Amino acid sequence: MPTMKINVGPIHPSTHGVLRLVVEVDGDTVKGVEPHIGFLHRGVEKLMETRLYMQSPSYVEKLDYIAPLSWDELYVSAVERATGIETKERAQYARMIMLEFQRIASHLLWLGTFCNDIGQLFTMFMWCFRERAKVLKLLEDLSGSRMFYVNMRLGGMNQELPGDFEERVQGLVDELESRISSYKEVLESDPVFMERTKGVGILKKEEAINCGVSGPVLRAAGVEEDVRRSKPYYFYDKVKFRIPQGRESDSYDRYRVRYEEMFESIRIIRQCLEMMPETGTVLGMRIKLVGPPAKPDPVLVSRELPRGEGMVYMVPDKQKPYRISLRSPAFINLAAITRMCDDCRFADLFSILGSLDVVLAEIDR
């Protein structure tokens, strides 16, 4: 029987982004998937080469509207390295806390929408957004904005921490830990969730490495790789945390890795609170013209973003980057869908795509 090619998408931006999949099917069996991207392309890297260094944080955050703080910090860290500006110690701990809260918020949104994608209980969607709203409220109070924070400044952040910062953070992580702990029993006792994730979208360890995937997708394949451990930045080499891994490398393992990572983020936040100096400022430089020293070397900075390893390669110039290139973890992870969907059921295509946690604005750039 001949196969047939059908279009899935372009999908509306309110879901995973503007993505088109050309799917080759034999009845209900998928024989091939070809992702078509570029619907959101706007030449981010070239535009950043026309802007002054500290004009780009507000723009680079739009790459990942789910975890904008992560890209903000990554880019500003690259500028700090190019200009030789050191980040204040208290500000480093504050950044770690905010980055881990951003990771939790990102994973909560992913889990809620993933359950919605595969027809699981709508209750889980509401629970995840309930917890995420409290994280966003804290980040809003720390930065002055709810969605796009633009909170990083060279050497620190844009405003001082509130007086009740430690108390609020401790109370929030205690509440998150209690509430998120109840998710597992609800999810793993649901036959629909288990059937739609167990044994679905398998990406073997060797394939995952060869495809270059990173983050939860790679760790779900049984690879113990986390930039916070392998190339530690700030004080990640001084805090203790576990790197969750999977065994079967299916959609279920990708869920479990992200679920367990939220508890590890809570663990890191608590340690940062204990280790953070009680005195000192977190304020960075005011936005002004800055430039690197004469004949600067190119810089390469990598971070463990919620979706995987993100990188900024920059060739500095006087007041703006001469060349800049961004490595999007979601771009590499999406490419692996061609391996993961071989001989799967057509209905499982959406479970597999959802388990990758892609953001098309970051992929297209």
Residue 214: closest CA among 334, 78, 313, 101: 334
Interatomic CA distance for residues 355 and 3, integer angstroms:
26
As a whole number of Å, the CA-based R_g of the chain is: 21
Cβ neighbours of residue 253 closer than 8 Å, sequence gap 6 or more: 220, 221, 246, 247
Interatomic CA distance for residues 214 and 276, integer angstroms:
30
Interatomic CA distance for residues 104 and 330, integer angstroms:
17
Interatomic CA distance for residues 128 and 208, integer angstroms:
28
Structure tokens that stand for 320 in this block:
């703006």
Q: Contact at 8 Å (CB) between 243 and 222?
A: no
pLDDT of residue 13: 44
Q: What is the pTM of this model?
A: 0.91
Interatomic CA distance for residues 323 and 104, integer angstroms:
32
**Ordered strands of the 323-327 beta sheet:** 299-305, 308-315, 323-327
pLDDT of residue 17: 63
Residue 7: Cβ within 10 Å count: 10
Cβ neighbours of residue 357 closer than 8 Å, sequence gap 6 or more: 106, 110, 114, 216, 254, 258, 306, 307, 330, 333
126 lies in which domain range?
4-364
pLDDT of residue 16: 57
Interatomic CA distance for residues 243 and 295, integer angstroms:
39
- Altogether, the residues listed in the chain come to a count of 365
Indicate the number of domains in the chain: 1
pLDDT of residue 152: 86
Tens of each residue's pLDDT in the chain, 365 residues: 678 888 777 765 445 567 888 887 788 777 888 888 887 788 888 998 888 888 888 888 888 888 888 999 999 999 989 888 888 889 999 999 999 999 999 999 999 888 887 876 678 888 888 999 999 998 888 887 777 888 888 888 888 888 888 889 999 999 999 999 988 888 888 888 888 888 888 888 888 888 888 889 999 988 888 899 999 988 999 999 999 998 888 889 999 999 999 999 999 999 999 998 888 888 777 877 677 776 678 999 999 999 999 999 999 888 888 899 998 898 888 888 888 888 778 888 888 888 888 888 888 87
Interatomic CA distance for residues 80 and 301, integer angstroms:
10
pLDDT of residue 12: 54
Q: Contact at 8 Å (CB) between 235 and 97?
A: no
Structure tokens that stand for 65 in this block:
């509207």
Residue 53: Cβ within 10 Å count: 28
pLDDT of residue 116: 83
Distance of CA 323 to CAs 55, 76, 82, 232, 362, Å? 15, 15, 13, 25, 18
Q: Contact at 8 Å (CB) between 316 and 298?
A: yes
pLDDT of residue 283: 79
What residues pair up with 34 in beta bridges, in sequence order? Answer: 22
Q: What is the domain-level CATH number for residue 222? A: 1.10.645.10
pLDDT of residue 15: 55
pLDDT of residue 294: 65
Provide the terminal-to-terminal Cα distance of the chain, rounded to the nearest Å: 40
